[in-house]
């Protein structure tokens, strides 16, 4: 997809990757970016980057009325980037395992599904595309972060199904599978991390190159390569990362 002149919705635009995506899209020459987040105050600063092309919007992907309202307002959209997500950094047997799992599924799976359903008619009419930001640990579970992984695994399955359903309607569906990114979501976790700008640049390059699945950083690329060769071995390696 040639991004120049396109109109784009970015959810979770107040986060590290979301903000970097908005900046990158402006640099690519898009006509308009709807920068959506739960708090309008969290994205209003992005409007200062380009007062005419950035439109801050309040959006809670877990609320049906909020999703319906933004879909009605943004009927000129060519590209939907489902970036909104939550990670409670909890393991299944952890003290808040059930609560964390429910919250993460509500946002990462049901919220993404709601956005895909709401924007499918608009994108079908315009020959547009959907980009879902998944995670490399949606393809293999990292038990110490198990509940989040499960929600992203559900998101991966959602992506595959929506891709198949919308293909006959001319809507391209792209999956993004980043590894650790230096954002608020991974604060306090000691590991090599890519920057939001690096990941956003790789995502936008993948969109322009019509890639179906984007692994935007060295860690995700390495893990994906191993998963192709020996998924059981990767599962064992990730299982061994549980702290003693």
Whether 34 is catalytic: no
Whether residue 244 is predicted with pLDDT greater than 90 in this model: the reply is no
Check residues 147 and 186 and name the one with the higher pLDDT: 147
DSSP per-residue letters across 139-184: TS--GGGHHHHHHHHHHHHHHHHHHHHHGGGT-EEEEE----BSSG
Give the angle 179-42-146 at the CA atoms, nearest 5°.
30
32 is annotated as an active-site residue: no
pLDDT in tens, 225-242: 999 999 999 999 999 988
Q: Looking at domain 7-239, which CATH architecture does it have?
A: 3-Layer(aba) Sandwich (3.40)
pLDDT of residue 185: 56
Q: 154-210: per-residue pLDDT in tens?
A: 999 999 999 999 999 999 999 999 998 765 555 455 556 689 999 999 999 999 999
Q: End-to-end alpha-carbon separation of the chain, Å?
A: 47
* pLDDT in the model for residue 187: 46
Question: Which is higher by pLDDT, 15 or 26?
Answer: 26
Q: In the prediction, which pLDDT does 206 show?
A: 98
The mean per-residue pLDDT over the stretch 37-42 comes to: 91
What is the overall mean pLDDT for the chain? 94
Nearest alpha-carbon partner for 57 in 116, 10, 118:
10
pLDDT at site 189: 53
Residue 83 pLDDT > 50: yes
Which of 148, 226, 232, 236 is catalytic? The answer is 148
One-character DSSP codes across 31-86 = SEEEEEES-HHHHHHHHTT-TTTEEEEE--TT-HHHHHHHHHH-TT-SEEEE----
- 105-141, pLDDT tens digit by residue? 999 999 999 999 999 999 999 999 999 999 999 999 9
Residue ranges of domains in the chain:
7-239
**Catalytic hit among 6, 23, 32, 152:** 152
Window from 12-26, 61-75, 155-169, 174-188 with minimum mean pLDDT: 174-188
């Amino acid at each position: 997809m040639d991004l120049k002149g396109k109109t784009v919705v970015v959810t979770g635009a107040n986060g590290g990757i979301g903000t970097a995506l908005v900046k990158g899209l402006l640099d690519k020459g898009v006509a308009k970016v709807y920068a959506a987040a739960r708090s309008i105050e969290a994205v209003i600063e992005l409007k200062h980057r380009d007062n005419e092309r950035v439109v801050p919007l309040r959006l809670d992907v877990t609320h049906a009325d909020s999703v319906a309202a933004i879909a009605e307002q943004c009927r000129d959209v060519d590209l939907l980037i489902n970036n909104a997500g939550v990670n409670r950094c909890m393991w299944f047997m952890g003290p808040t395992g059930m609560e964390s799992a429910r919250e993460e599924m509500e946002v990462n799976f049901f919220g993404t599904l709601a956005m895909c359903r709401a924007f499918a008619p608009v994108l079908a009419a315009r020959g547009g595309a959907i980009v879902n930001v998944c995670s490399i640990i949606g393809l293999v579970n990292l038990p110490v972060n198990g509940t989040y992984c499960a929600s992203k695994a559900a998101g991966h399955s959602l992506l595959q199904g929506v891709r198949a359903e919308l293909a006959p309607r001319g809507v391209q569906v792209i999956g993004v599978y980043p590894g650790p990114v230096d954002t608020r979501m991974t604060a306090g976790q000691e590991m090599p991390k890519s920057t939001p700008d690096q990941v956003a640049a790789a995502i936008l390059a993948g969109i322009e190159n019509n890639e179906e699945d984007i692994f935007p950083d060295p860690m995700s690329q390495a893990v994906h390569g191993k998963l192709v060769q020996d998924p059981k071995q990767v599962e064992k390696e990730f299982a061994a990362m549980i702290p003693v």
